[in-house]
Amino acid sequence: MALFDPERKRIVIRVVYDGPGHAGKTTNLQRLSKSFVAWRRSDLVSPATLGERTQYFDWLEVDGGLLRSYPIRAQLLTVPGQRELTLRRKFVIERADVVVFVADSQPDALPESRSFYAELCEQLASFPVPVPIVFQANKQDLPGAIKPAKLARMVSEGLRAPDQVKGSVASNNDGVKQTLAVALRIGSEAVRKLWAREDPKAMVGEVADAEGTLAALAHHEAQQARGRANDLQATLPSSSIPSAQLWPTISGRALLAELEHQPLRRIPTPSQPSRFVYEVSQADGQVWRLTTGTERFYDAAGQTSDAGLAGRDAGLTAMVTLTRRKVALASWLPEPSVVALAADPEGAGVWLWTLEPVLPSLADELADPDPDRRREALARFAEVAVGAEALAESHGLLVALEPAAFALQAGERVRTRYVGERLDAGHELDSIGPILSLASRFEGDEIALADYAEGLCLGFHYAPRSPERRAVLVEALTAALAPGTLGPGPTRVADAARLVLTRPAHD
């Protein structure tokens, strides 16, 4: 379902690549990932892939034109092609705005293509809103390949006809980007008709990411397997929680005691039903947010999404890991920040919660009408971009490098805090994409871009320290500086950063 993302002022459309196994769905996304410069796409994510077989989905986000004067961000997903994973396939298709059906053009693949296409038509027929289908006849280079139009007729005979037909050789990148262009065009037109005279800003919802979608899918599967689709409810932490299940112990317990008799508000998360988010207010007006999800539920029977250990032991292990990662954030950690492990009263397992203050986000500051506040926020993002590189290098910790994941907390002075959910182990961070995306957003503000470039250059004098990592960043900047890719202002920012990164880091 298309949504308006108010933080980034863009419309998010989901394109799902469906079809039998080995038809070329993953290959499409692999080729598209290489066709877009880094700052116009996300990384390609394929959770728990076994060999060449997709187990859940492949995920790639790319920029894709305009709709109602707003930029489009296209979420591209594939489905698993194995018969035994039909439930996962249907779950992914359920949220599509347009479907690309990828079919193997060889004659012996026709029966399986017809079977999968019939299931797709049956599922889409149950949707309240029509979803367009683009038929991609792949592997046109193989001997005996059936021509695209003929293959589409043979596959859809007696069924709903596709809205568009394209031929392709995904292994050679032939027809891949053209198929996506057609899908985005007819998908956007369908969304335009659906929204009619509605203001896009009114079509707000929680925009899912790959991690959240995987958690929601795991939650859905767990519910199906256990036969209790709507019974799983998170247990809230209390001030009587054992010390071993609370961090930091003293201040965390005091805060829970202050909040536990205050009314809670459940925050809806329709695109991520596996999440539980509550907000509670203190008398002084400070708002606190408690967050958990089924991916943080550790089942007493050992049925967890995160570890093979059972119940409390698995939860304690996860709690220690999360706490260590939060400590590594140092000055970025909101004050106070609490981690708690709450046991289900019926002994079903334990829930891992985080409790943090609700703070004004950097995304809000970047959208403020006051140009000085916008410029200050942009300068702060330059600091966090370099800081994220340093964190990945020194602690092997990756954060979500986007304005919505950072916030401002007032005190003796205003400090930048990290409020995003991503805290993954790793060293390779896509920092150039977000850096240049914001530079392009401030194209017309010369003062802001000058301060931004200065902040980036000052930071890149010292981090990252590794020559190899600096070379990777230089390569990404060089690719982004291809003619016609960036405007004059962002080009100056990229050139300045690249010049600093070509030199060794300062001690």
Q: What is the pLDDT of residues 152-199, one digit of tens each?
A: 999 999 999 999 999 999 999 999 999 999 999 999 999 888 887 777
Domain assignments of the chain as residue spans, ordered by start = 3-207, 234-357, 362-501
Give the pLDDT mean for 132-139.
96
Choice among 48-62, 237-251, 416-430 with the minimum mean pLDDT: 48-62
pLDDT given for residue 345 in this prediction: 81
Distances (CA, A) of 359 to 198, 211, 346, 365: 30, 23, 35, 11
3-state SS, residue 204: strand
How much is the pLDDT for 308?
34
Strands 287-293 and 275-281, sheet pairing: antiparallel
Residue 331, classed as helix, strand or coil, is: helix
Instruction: Determine the Cα angle at 230 with ends 229 and 231, to 5°.
Output: 105
Q: Which residues pair with 67 in a beta bridge?
A: 70
pLDDT score of 14: 94
Mean pLDDT of 51-76: 85
pLDDT score of 153: 95
Phi, then psi, of 311 in degrees rounded to 5: 45, -125
Cα gap 394→321, rounded to integer Å: 17
- The percentage of residues in the chain with a pLDDT greater than 70, rounded to a whole number, is 93
**Predicted confidence band of residue 234 (pLDDT cuts 50, 70, 90):** confident
CATH node for 3-207? 3.40.50.300
Q: Residue 8, exposed/middle/buried by CB under 10 A (0-12, 13-18, 19+)?
A: buried
- pLDDT of 302 reads 42
Res. 107: pLDDT tops 80: yes
Kindly report, residue by residue over 41-55, the tens digit of the pLDDT.
999 988 866 556 788
Of 92, 1, 84, 8, the closest CA to residue 42 belongs to 8
pTM over 0.85: no
State the DSSP H helix or E strand holding residue 355, giving kind and residue range, or none if neither.
strand 349-357
Residues of the chain with pLDDT > 90, as a percent, come to 63
Tell me the per-residue pLDDT of 245-304, one tens digit each, with 9 for 90 and over.
999 999 999 999 999 888 889 888 776 777 889 999 888 889 999 999 887 888 765 444
Q: What is the DSSP secondary structure assignment for residue 294, as one 8-state letter?
A: G
